A and B are shown apart, each in its own frame.
Chain A
Amino acid sequence: QVQLQESGPGLVKPSQTLSLTCTVSGGSISNSNYYWNWIRQPAGKGLEWIGRVYTSGSTNYNPSLRSRVTISLDTSKNQFSLDLNSVTAADTAVYYCARGRWPDYWGQGTLVTVSS
């Protein structure tokens, strides 16, 4: 059974970089032809797709966030990560990592607050 777990700071200061890691267990991130996604949800609001990385390392990003986002794989640790720079209060949200073109396995989510 594949499991995903997000980790990273719960508080980030404005203008800094938000960095999260998703650790995958129950399967190898490099031996499977899957997309690995980051998705976020501000409190009381809807889902927003941030971007994804394929097993090969190729990436796709939400056009509205593309200039600030980097998603990458670390196959040695069976992890993938999200970096979002120049954050503002509008980036405060629960951040989810998820597997698949139509994400079928999700992490539990981690709340990141942007505040000084």
Chain B
Amino acid sequence: QSALTQPPSASGSPGQSVIISCTGTSSDVGGYNYVSWYQQHPGKAPKLMIYEVSKRPSGVPDRFSGSKSGNTASLTVSGLQAEDEADYYCSSYAGSNNPCVFGTGTKVTVL
């Protein structure tokens, strides 16, 4: 099972939006509505931002939203803020034999 494909980097100015893609196959992203997104600041543990494609855990700002089309999921960060600068990882369920596959990660820079 290969890692899900994410762009290595993305950037935007404060207040702008950035969209991060996460491309898999019909065996993972495309086959289930079980995509989640994590934010990781340097030296810190990842933080869950989105689960089940588009649901936000309590406490996550509504500037963060998720969606999916076919084999590609997306995370949109609207109204970029300095504290959004971090690495972002997607993950997907890929069947009972491989319940969790992570993406390659995207570094978001706030210009």
Interface residues of chain A, those whose CB is within 8 Å of chain B, are: 37, 46-49, 52, 60, 62-64, 96, 98, 100-104, 106-109
Contacts and interface: CB of A to CB of B under 8 A. Distances in A.
B19 interface: no
Given A60-B96, A63-B1, A49 B51 contact: no
Interface stretch (B22-30, B74-82, B99-107): B99-107
How large, as a class, is the contact surface on chain B?
20 to 34
B48 interface: yes
B46 A46 contact: no
A48 B102 contact: yes
A95 to B, nearest CB: 11
Contact of A108 (B45, B47, B89, B98): B45
Interface of B: 1, 3, 34, 36, 38, 45-48, 51-52, 57, 89, 91, 96-105
Contacts of A52: 99-100
A103 B57 CA distance: 11
- Residue of B3, B96, B99 contacting most chain A CB atoms (<10 Å): B99
B45 A102 contact: no
Contact of A64 (B1, B38, B45, B52): B1
B105 A46 contact: yes
Given A47-B89, A104-B48, 18 more contacts: A37-B100, A46-B3, A46-B89, A46-B103, A47-B102, A47-B105, A49-B100, A49-B102, A52-B99, A60-B96, A60-B98, A62-B1, A101-B99, A102-B36, A102-B48, A104-B57, A106-B47, A108-B45
Contacts of A60: 96-99
